[in-house]
Structure 1
Amino acid sequence: MRVSEKGQVTIPKHVREQAGIRPNSDVMIRLEGGRVIIEPVDGAESRSMRDRMERFLKELDKLEGTGDPALGAEDVMRETRDRT
């Protein structure tokens, strides 16, 4: 098996079938002990991840414009250093 210049790999049909990876399905790719693991993501898990991301982005949007633009990175480090 060869990786294309774009980083693409074709998963052989028999492997896809055994893993339950169907055309246009979502897969999760992760590293585990130096190995690349590719596994199918069921619809509920995929929706759950999308919902979590949407909630996170909404919360992040609420913070927009709330910071002090005069506060630099060193100021933040000084304020947060050695907190107990």
Structure 2
Amino acid sequence: MKITSKGQVTIPQAVREQAGLHPHSEVEFEVRANGDVVLRRAPAAVSSVRTAFQRVRGSATAAQFKGMGTDEFMRFLRG
């Protein structure tokens, strides 16, 4: 297998299947002291919306949001 001029390689289908890699999967590389390179699936990224909800979870009650419009609530979530 060769590396292209853009630094790309094709991961063989059998390897992708065994590693659970699908189109658009995020991967990370580890270079070991002996020069070996390890490719692994990257942990799933957390969306910014999920992060916003995690940030405010448990910090407010429904009473705080009573009468709040959608735009105001979104500004609250986005900080």
Band of TM-score, shorter chain: 0.5 to 0.7
Partner of 1:27: 27
Structure 1: runs of 5+ lacking an equivalent: 52-84
Aligned to 1:37, the other structure's residue is in SS state strand
Question: Identity percentage over the alignment?
Answer: 41
State whether structure 2 residue 5 is matched by structure 1 residue 8: no
TM-score by length of 2: 0.52
Partner of 1:68: none
Partner of 1:38: 39
TM-score by length of 1: 0.50
Q: Relative contact order: is structure 1 or structure 2 higher (C-alpha 8 Å, sep ≥ 6)?
A: 2
Higher helix share: 1
Q: Give 1:40 deviation, angstroms.
A: 0.5
Between Structure 1 and Structure 2, how many residues are aligned? 47
